[in-house]
């Protein structure tokens, strides 16, 4: 009984204590701001929105590579030797036209990782935080200040220059590749390229893998063993990017490679499926260190045996390239060319595939057909590309 | 109309889905509750609604540094602690020495974050039990901590502030002053919270003797953090297995004592959190005192993280318990395998064991007292 | 007193001479002991109950995929609260027959961890009372954390691929 | 009686409705302001200018425009009917409330009896809503409500009866009138609460019970949002949901006003004859009611909620025995003095 009363008293006491606290707050000041009328002052470093001072940008692509979610997309065109693009505010010489610098703020996760590597400090977070929009497209911010005409012009110039260079290179590369095919022991360092590569340069020239220098390598017709033969156990591919980002759905075949010695290797499933007999192709692609993607598969049109092009190799050592994804399924025998690429934007395998039907279909998966189409004129329209993915 | 299942001769039972959209499940947790009247006969938690593939991401982003922002997003309520765990794991794997100043800043940040996280935990716990106001009072305090974080890191919730070998940037000039000011004004607020909520008799009625977790069971379930300490087990990695520079500080590990109810009940888990805030204040004060004023926080940051094959399991004490990162590296630039052992995930798994036989309303209290963050449960 | 992995290994070796235990380590980080799957449960019980070891908590249980060796594995990190020692254990099984005995009855916490390993890697835990997927939906195809995982193209009519929305350049 | 003749009567009858509607809008605004101030916020500040006074109107407009959703599996008639029944019950009870010395809807001799009886309809409407929604949360909420309201009616009635034996009448107007003037000592109003020490206890019991009757914290189990989502209102939206809110606030006012009549002298001025009269009477009456409403809000924003069994324990093991003992003691006191 006494206990009950004590308890009852405790209850009432604690209730009144609580009510005393709340009534004090009732008469106390409010801690809130009337938002649209009053605004908090954000600290200097507040991370709210990315901004690029495009005049200072040298197109080095470091920010795009640092982005974990790939929300930055940069496309550059090499300036002609005689063009002076000026210098940035900290004195670096600019050598590239920035034909495209797009940040998708809808994807951005505000981690600020892109701002650290920038050599000219031209990308940074600003404090503007009120930029919500009803249309997601409006959150894609474009920073390039070139007009479309100007872009077309500089691209054309670059294309011509590149074509010439390419020709030279292709010849050299063919010779090299022939040599290389024998040398089978070198070890590829790399991870198959799956995702990363963007054909950048290749822009426009079909059939001719041009691009990125170093990268391409083709497999000569007989490619020694690479294709079919190559076996690399899929599992090994360490990196298979694929898996992660997008690897092509179909890609079951992502041959991996690494580790294996080319040629010798054991088979890649994919390839196998696709191309029996005809070693078609597999253009290989080697890639370097992730992140730097590079690879480009490419073998243009080649019919086996005929392969003409052989593009080069990754990182220089021909013969090493190994992997080629390609989707076997789709292209038996006919792998048409895939231009290669290089820009490495991580994750964005944008252009890769493209055209080739055979191409890495898989890759395509994540890549919208669009960009490719643009870049490789003359090749199959993007639609087809899509179809390819789905089947 | 409403289906009431009657199996055999047992009493009729009703199966009810609590969540994934339910005010007291703290996110998208779904509990499949079997009720006999209002009595809970069985609970089956269903998780995965917030699964964002942290592990898959970790294995596919460009390099080790890019994983950090994703760790923030696991337990978004204590992002600093998540980062701290990850960078410590990587530093231990790569054997990187971290500058003194960085260690101190990290510890202060981690303890501030612990306070912020516990504030949220006790606030929402009150909210679950119908006390709305304490929630907003503690939120006011939490805002002050977030302001401190924002000044230094630039963000209020997902900081990406620590990096392997150091910090992304040095702290703000006002950091020391702000933190001292915060600790000073925060202590009276704990007292106020104690009066308003902790010792409120209705609150005690709702939490004492509810969801009792015996220490043996807690260990068998590998519970950690306040859930384990609430059961009276004096186990805190900061003390028992010190990482970073925690061995330099003098602080206590509060444990549940069954003060108003049974040892290991909801109230004990709650009070451990409240008392831990006090301890964190102590650590912060000592760390502020001892922190070197100068020093380059980036000096030991590797330009590029290069690894060899190896594996490490490193654990740290977050507000919710033991956070372990199991990282397998190879020669590539990204983790071969990264697994996060999330404390909420483990703590939530013992929910069925401690909620059987309680009432529907107690279930709410039990879930609140475990203090889960679904981002971490599902990763 | 806390024992090192080496000491525990020797101790186990002495207790189970017939079992093929291997102490392994990589260039970086901590060593671990590899235990054949068929002996795992027995040894787990020993680890928990032996008075010198007393591994009363299972901190973490993670699945791992080794596509090179066509293996699946689990890594268990044990901890002894009183003794203060920790131990990493791996159990490897072939991909074609990924059966590992469940230790749910020894450490309750293994329940969800094993479900997660099953969900992500397809490792089957024999004797687990409720081996369902935990993070993915029950009818999800494939095991996402395997290195050769290919996501299904659509789930319940929803396209699982991310299509990039991009504004045109003009 | 032609319609023209009955018009004044209709207007007469409508007066409480107007009061309820205006009060409900005001009370909802006030609840938010009270919550805001207690929580160091400001509450609504934008709509209408000064301290967002028009916020409730804006909400009402929004609710009116909302789609009237009826779950496919619901029992349609009952689902539609429940909110109106609930409001009707609250509204009908106002008939016997003496708003001022000049106005009372129906001056009947069994006023208290009528009021308590008709508010029991609320229980039925809540069960109706909960069951008809065909939702498990609603059903649980409805069951809790039924148990809670039926239980708490007992202490409420006992507390009211305690007053009635002192006042000697079931007519609320009579009860009010006998509290006019100052008490024998001359400095306290002649209110019942000051007349008998045990009536103070009766008031505490009464106040706790009306908190439970009107589902206010700490007894808001029927709609406890962190457990039952919104209890019996879970499936309601738009205007029908607004009817529930209206009825709930009306119920709160009704019971507060009843408290004012029974314990605080109804429309009598606290200053004896000063500031007296029908208009002032109305003001004082509403003022007293609103004070009680404010205390209910204040409690709501301070306390956590009881659990269902604790609520029942409080009612059956504490309040009811206490109210019976108290009843006897009051009767004894009345006999002795």
Domain covering B11-377: architecture: Orthogonal Bundle (1.10)
Cβ-Cβ contacts under 8 Å for D44 (sequence gap 6 or more): D29, D32, D33, D36, D51, D52, D55
From the CA of C111, how many Å to the nearest CA of chain B? 8
Phi, psi of D100 (to 5 degrees): -155, 175
Average pLDDT over residues A204-229: 32
Average pLDDT over residues B308-336: 87
pLDDT at A282: 37
Does the structure show a pLDDT above 70 at B325? yes
pLDDT at D186: 63
From the CA of D203, how many Å to the nearest CA of chain A? 15
Give the DSSP H or E segment for D23. Answer: helix D3-38
Using an 8 Å CB-CB cutoff, list chain B residues near D135. 2
- Domain range annotation of chain B: 11-377
Q: In angstroms, how far is CA B99 from the centroid of its own chain?
A: 26
pLDDT tens per residue across span A237-268: 333 333 333 333 333 333 333 333 333 333 33
Hey, is the C-beta of C164 within 8 angstroms of any chain A C-beta? yes
**Nearest one of B84, B69, B77, B66 to B26, comparing CA atoms:** B77
Residue given tokens 């990315």 in the structure block: A50
Does the structure show a pLDDT above 60 at A342? no
pLDDT at A257: 34
Contact between chains at B313 and C77 (C-beta distance less than 8 A): yes
Count CA atoms within 13 Å of residue D332 on its CB side: 8
Using an 8 Å CB-CB cutoff, list chain B residues near A26. none
Chain A nearest-CA residue for D301: A22
Name the β-bridge partners of A217: A284
Are residues A155 and A77 in contact, defined by beta-carbon separation less than 8 angstroms?
Answer: yes
Count CA atoms within 13 Å of residue C21 on its CB side: 22
Give the A window 18-37 contacts with D, CB below 8 Å. Answer: 18-19, 21-23, 25-32, 34
Using an 8 Å CB-CB cutoff, list chain B residues near A241. 60
Contact between chains at A26 and D298 (C-beta distance less than 8 A): yes
Q: In angstroms, how far is CA B62 from the centroid of its own chain?
A: 28
> A286 pLDDT band (50/70/90 cuts)?
very low
Are residues D176 and D278 in contact, defined by beta-carbon separation less than 8 angstroms?
Answer: no
Are residues B218 and B228 in contact, defined by beta-carbon separation less than 8 angstroms?
Answer: yes
Contact between chains at A31 and D41 (C-beta distance less than 8 A): yes
Using an 8 Å CB-CB cutoff, list chain A residues near B153. 45
Using an 8 Å CB-CB cutoff, list chain A residues near D303. 15, 18
pLDDT at A161: 78
pLDDT at C8: 82
From the CA of A170, how many Å to the nearest CA of chain C? 32
Chains that touch B (3 or more CB pairs under 8 A): A, C, D
Contact between chains at A137 and C165 (C-beta distance less than 8 A): yes
pLDDT at A300: 31
Using an 8 Å CB-CB cutoff, list chain A residues near C147. 235, 237-238, 240, 243
Contact between chains at B169 and A45 (C-beta distance less than 8 A): yes
Using an 8 Å CB-CB cutoff, list chain C residues near B231. none
pLDDT tens per residue across span A39-94: 888 888 888 888 888 877 887 888 888 888 888 888 877 776 676 777 777 777 77
pLDDT at B158: 87
Average pLDDT over residues A174-185: 67
Residue given tokens 């087809």 in the structure block: A384
Are residues B161 and B109 in contact, defined by beta-carbon separation less than 8 angstroms?
Answer: yes
Q: In angstroms, how far is CA A117 from the centroid of its own chain?
A: 17
Domain A49-149, CATH number (from 3.30.450.20, 3.60.15.10, 3.30.70.3270, 1.10.1520.10): 3.30.70.3270
pLDDT at A270: 34
Contact between chains at D35 and B132 (C-beta distance less than 8 A): yes
Contact between chains at C148 and A234 (C-beta distance less than 8 A): yes
Lowest mean pLDDT among A20-34, A164-178, A300-314, B13-27: A300-314
Average pLDDT over residues B88-112: 88
Are residues B355 and D221 in contact, defined by beta-carbon separation less than 8 angstroms?
Answer: no
Interface A-B: count of C-beta contacts within 8 A? 99
pLDDT at A182: 60
Q: Which two tokens stand for residue A77?
A: 């065109």
Using an 8 Å CB-CB cutoff, list residues of chain B that contact chain A: 56-57, 59-63, 65-66, 68-70, 72-73, 133, 137, 140, 143, 150-155, 158, 160, 168-169, 172, 192, 195-197, 199-202, 330, 332-334, 336
Contact between chains at D298 and A19 (C-beta distance less than 8 A): yes
Distance from C-alpha of A125 to C-alpha of D312, rounded to nearest angstrom: 58
Using an 8 Å CB-CB cutoff, list chain A residues near B73. 109
From the CA of B21, how many Å to the nearest CA of chain D? 9
Reported CATH class of domain C5-159? alpha beta
Instruction: Reduce the DSSP state of residue B316 to 3 states and report it.
Output: strand
Q: Which two tokens stand for residue A221?
A: 């017709």
Higher confidence at residue A204 or residue D226?
D226
Say if strands C32-36 and B30-36 run parallel, antiparallel, or are unpaired.
unpaired
Contact between chains at D218 and B136 (C-beta distance less than 8 A): no
Hey, is the C-beta of C169 within 8 angstroms of any chain A C-beta? yes
pLDDT tens per residue across span D151-194: 888 899 888 888 888 888 888 888 887 777 666 566 677 777 77
pLDDT at A204: 32
pLDDT at D90: 84
Using an 8 Å CB-CB cutoff, list chain D residues near A21. 302
Hey, is the C-beta of C141 within 8 angstroms of any chain A C-beta? no
Hey, is the C-beta of A235 within 8 angstroms of any chain D C-beta? no
**Nearest one of A323, A362, A329 to A227, comparing CA atoms:** A323
pLDDT tens per residue across span D112-130: 888 888 888 888 888 888 8
> B4 pLDDT band (50/70/90 cuts)?
low
> B115 pLDDT band (50/70/90 cuts)?
very high
- Cβ-based neighbour number of residue A278 at 10 Å: 17
From the CA of B363, how many Å to the nearest CA of chain D? 9
pLDDT tens per residue across span B277-301: 999 998 999 988 888 888 777 888 8
List strand residue ranges (DSSP E) for A22-151, in order. Answer: 49-52, 72-78, 96-104, 123-126, 140-142
pLDDT at D183: 60
ipTM > 0.85 (yes/no): no
Contact between chains at B160 and A66 (C-beta distance less than 8 A): no
Distance from C-alpha of A351 to C-alpha of A212, rounded to nearest angstrom: 13
Chains that touch A (3 or more CB pairs under 8 A): B, C, D
Average pLDDT over residues D306-331: 87
Taking only the tens of pLDDT, chain C with its 170 residues reads 577 788 888 888 888 888 788 888 877 878 888 888 888 888 888 888 888 788 888 888 888 888 888 888 888 888 888 888 888 888 888 888 888 888 888 888 888 888 888 888 888 888 888 888 888 888 888 888 888 888 888 888 888 776 655 544 44
Hey, is the C-beta of C167 within 8 angstroms of any chain A C-beta? yes
Average pLDDT over residues D224-229: 71
Using an 8 Å CB-CB cutoff, list chain D residues near B132. 35, 39, 301
Give the B window 259-278 contacts with D, CB below 8 Å. Answer: none
Using an 8 Å CB-CB cutoff, list residues of chain C that contact chain B: 26-30, 32, 56-60, 62, 64-65, 75, 77, 81, 84, 86, 88, 107-109, 111-113, 120, 133-137, 144-145
**Mean of per-residue pLDDT scores for chain D:** 83
Contact between chains at C56 and B220 (C-beta distance less than 8 A): yes
Distance from C-alpha of D141 to C-alpha of D228, rounded to nearest angstrom: 7
> B11 pLDDT band (50/70/90 cuts)?
low
Higher confidence at residue A154 or residue B175?
B175
Hey, is the C-beta of B34 within 8 angstroms of any chain D C-beta? no
- Cβ-based neighbour number of residue C109 at 10 Å: 25
Examine chains C and D and say if they touch (3+ CB pairs below 8 A).
Answer: no
Distance from C-alpha of B329 to C-alpha of B307, rounded to nearest angstrom: 7
The CA-to-CA distance between both ends of chain A, in Å, stands at 81
pLDDT at A48: 84
Distance from C-alpha of D212 to C-alpha of D209, rounded to nearest angstrom: 5
Chain B nearest-CA residue for A117: B303
Instruction: Reduce the DSSP state of residue C100 to 3 states and report it.
Output: strand
């Amino acid at each position: 009984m006494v206990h009950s009363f004590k308890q009852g008293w405790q209850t009432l006491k604690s209730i009144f204590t609580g009510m005393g606290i709340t009534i004090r707050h009732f008469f106390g000041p409010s801690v809130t701001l009337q938002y649209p009328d009053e605004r908090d002052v954000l600290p200097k470093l507040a991370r709210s929105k990315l901004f690029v001072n495009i005049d200072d940008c040298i197109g080095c692509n470091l920010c795009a590579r640092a982005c974990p979610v790939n929300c930055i997309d940069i496309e550059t065109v090499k300036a002609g030797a005689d063009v002076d693009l000026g210098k940035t505010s900290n004195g670096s010489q600019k050598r590239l036209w920035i034909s495209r610098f797009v940040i998708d703020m809808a994807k951005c996760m505000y981690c600020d990782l892109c701002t650290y590597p920038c050599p000219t400090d031209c990308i940074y977070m600003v404090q503007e935080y009120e930029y919500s929009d009803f249309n997601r497209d409006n959150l894609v911010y474009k920073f390039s200040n070139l007009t479309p005409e100007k872009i077309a012009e500089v691209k054309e110039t670059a294309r011509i220059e590149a074509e010439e260079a390419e020709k030279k290179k292709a010849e050299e590369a063919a010779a090299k590749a022939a040599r290389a095919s024998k040398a089978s022991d070198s070890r590829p360092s790399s991870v198959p390229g799956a995702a990363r590569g963007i054909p950048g340069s290749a822009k426009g020239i079909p059939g001719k893998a041009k691009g990125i220098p170093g990268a391409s390598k083709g497999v000569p017709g007989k490619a020694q063993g690479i294709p079919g033969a190559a076996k690399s156990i899929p599992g090994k591919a360490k990196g298979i990017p694929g898996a992660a980002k997008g690897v092509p759905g179909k890609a079951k075949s992502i041959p991996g490679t690494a580790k294996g010695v080319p040629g010798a290797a054991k088979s890649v499933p994919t390839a196998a499926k696709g191309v029996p007999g005809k070693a078609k192709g597999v253009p290989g692609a080697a890639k370097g260190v992730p992140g730097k993607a590079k690879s480009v598969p490419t073998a243009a049109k080649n019919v086996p045996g005929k392969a003409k092009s052989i593009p080069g190799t990754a990182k220089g050592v021909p013969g090493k390239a190994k992997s080629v994804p390609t989707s076997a399924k789709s292209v038996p025998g006919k792998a048409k060319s895939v231009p290669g690429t290089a820009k490495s934007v991580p994750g964005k395998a944008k252009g890769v595939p493209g055209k080739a039907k055979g191409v890495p279909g898989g890759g395509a998966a994540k890549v919208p057909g669009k960009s490719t189409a643009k870049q490789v004129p003359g090749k199959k329209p993007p639609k087809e590309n899509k179809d390819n993915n789905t089947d | 109309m409403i289906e009431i299942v009657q199996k055999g001769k047992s009493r009729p039972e009703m199966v009810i889905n609590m969540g994934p959209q339910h005010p007291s499940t703290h996110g998208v947790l779904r509990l499949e509750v079997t009720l006999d009247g209002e009595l809970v006969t069985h609970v089956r938690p269903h998780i995965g609604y917030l699964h964002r593939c942290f592990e898959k991401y970790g294995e596919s982003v460009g390099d080790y540094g890019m994983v950090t922002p994703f760790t923030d997003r696991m337990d978004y309520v204590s992002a600093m602690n998540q980062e701290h765990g990850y960078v410590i794991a990587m530093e231990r794997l790569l054997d990187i020495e971290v500058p003194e100043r960085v260690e101190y800043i990290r510890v202060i940040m981690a303890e501030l974050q612990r306070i912020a996280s516990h504030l949220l935990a006790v606030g929402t716990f009150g909210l679950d039990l119908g006390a709305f106001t304490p929630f907003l009072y503690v939120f006011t305090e939490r805002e002050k901590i977030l302001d401190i974080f924002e000044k230094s890191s630039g963000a209020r919730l997902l900081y990406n502030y620590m990096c392997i070998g150091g910090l992304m940037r040095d702290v703000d000039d006002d950091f020391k002053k702000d933190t001292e000011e915060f600790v000073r004004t925060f202590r009276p607020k704990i007292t106020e919270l104690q009066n308003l909520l902790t010792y409120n008799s209705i609150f005690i009625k709702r939490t004492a003797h509810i969801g009792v977790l015996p220490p043996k069971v807690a260990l068998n379930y590998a519970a950690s953090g306040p859930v384990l300490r609430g059961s009276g087990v004096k186990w805190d990695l900061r003390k028992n297995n010190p990482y970073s520079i925690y061995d330099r500080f003098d602080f206590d590990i509060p444990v549940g004592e069954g003060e108003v109810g049974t040892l290991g009940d909801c109230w004990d888990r709650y009070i451990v959190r409240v008392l831990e805030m006090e301890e964190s204040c102590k650590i912060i004060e000592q760390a502020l005192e001892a922190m070197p004023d100068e020093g380059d926080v980036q000096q030991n940051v590797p330009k590029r993280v290069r690894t060899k094959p190896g594996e490490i399991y490193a654990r740290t004490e977050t507000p919710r318990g033991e956070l372990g990162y199991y990282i397998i590296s190879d020669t590539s630039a990204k983790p071969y395998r990264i697994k996060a052992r999330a404390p909420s995930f483990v703590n939530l798994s013992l929910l069925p064991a401690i909620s059987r036989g309680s009432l529907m309303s107690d279930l709410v209290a039990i879930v609140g007292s475990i203090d889960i963050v679904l981002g971490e449960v599902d990763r | 007193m806390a024992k090192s992995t080496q000491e525990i290994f020797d101790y186990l070796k002495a207790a189970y001479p017939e079992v093929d235990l291997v102490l392994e380590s990589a260039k970086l980080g901590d060593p671990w002991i590899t235990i054949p799957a068929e002996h795992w449960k027995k040894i787990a019980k020993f680890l928990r109950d032996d008075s010198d070891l007393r591994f009363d908590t299972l901190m973490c249980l993670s699945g791992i995929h080794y596509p090179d060796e066509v293996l699946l594995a689990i890594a268990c990190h044990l901890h002894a609260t009183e003794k203060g020692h920790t131990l990493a254990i791996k159990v490897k099984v072939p991909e074609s027959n990924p059966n590992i005995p469940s230790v749910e009855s020894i450490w309750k916490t293994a329940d969800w961890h094993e479900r997660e390993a099953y969900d992500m890697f397809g490792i089957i835990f024999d004797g687990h009372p409720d081996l369902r997927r935990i993070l993915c939906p029950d009818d999800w195809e494939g095991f996402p954390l395997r290195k050769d995982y290919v996501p299904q193209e659509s789930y319940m009519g929803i396209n699982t691929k991310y299509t990039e929305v991009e504004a045109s350049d003009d | 009686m032609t319609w023209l003749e009955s018009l004044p009567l209709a207007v007469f009858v409508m007066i409480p409705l107007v009061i309820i509607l205006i009060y409900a809008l005001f009370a909802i605004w006030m609840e938010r302001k009270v919550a805001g101030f207690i929580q160091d916020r400001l509450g609504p500040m934008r709509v209408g200018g000064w301290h967002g006074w028009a916020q409730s109107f804006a909400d009402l407009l929004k609710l009116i425009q909302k789609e009237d959703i009826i779950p496919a599996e619901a029992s349609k008639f009952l689902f539609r009917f429940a909110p109106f029944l609930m409001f009707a019950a609250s509204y009908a009870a106002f008939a016997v409330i003496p708003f001022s010395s000049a106005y009372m809807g129906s001056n009947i001799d069994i006023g208290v009896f009528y009021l308590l009886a008709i508010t029991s309809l609320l229980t039925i409407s809540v069960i109706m809503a909960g069951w008809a929604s065909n939702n498990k949360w609603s059903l649980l909420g409805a069951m809790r409500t039924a148990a809670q309201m039926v239980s708490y009616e007992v202490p409420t009635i006992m507390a009211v009866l305690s007053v009635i034996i002192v006042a000697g009448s079931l007519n609320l107007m009579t009860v009010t009138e006998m509290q006019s003037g100052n008490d024998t000592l001359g400095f306290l109003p002649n209110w019942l609460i000051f007349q008998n020490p045990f009536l103070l206890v009766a008031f505490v019991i009464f106040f706790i019970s009306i908190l439970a009757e009107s589902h206010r914290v700490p007894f808001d189990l029927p709609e406890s949002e962190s457990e039952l989502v919104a209890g019996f209102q879970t499936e309601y939206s738009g205007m029908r949901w607004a009817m529930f809110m209206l009825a709930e606030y009306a119920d709160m006012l009704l019971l507060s006003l009843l408290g004012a009549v029974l314990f605080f002298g109804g429309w009598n001025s606290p200053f004896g004859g000063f500031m007296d009269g029908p208009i002032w009477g109305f003001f004082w009456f509403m003022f007293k009611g609103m004070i009680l409403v404010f205390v209910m809000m204040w409690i709501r924003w301070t306390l956590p909620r009881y659990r269902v069994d604790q609520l029942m324990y409080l009612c059956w093991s504490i309040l009811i025995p206490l109210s019976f003992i108290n009843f006897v003691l009051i009767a004894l006191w009345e006999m002795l003095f």
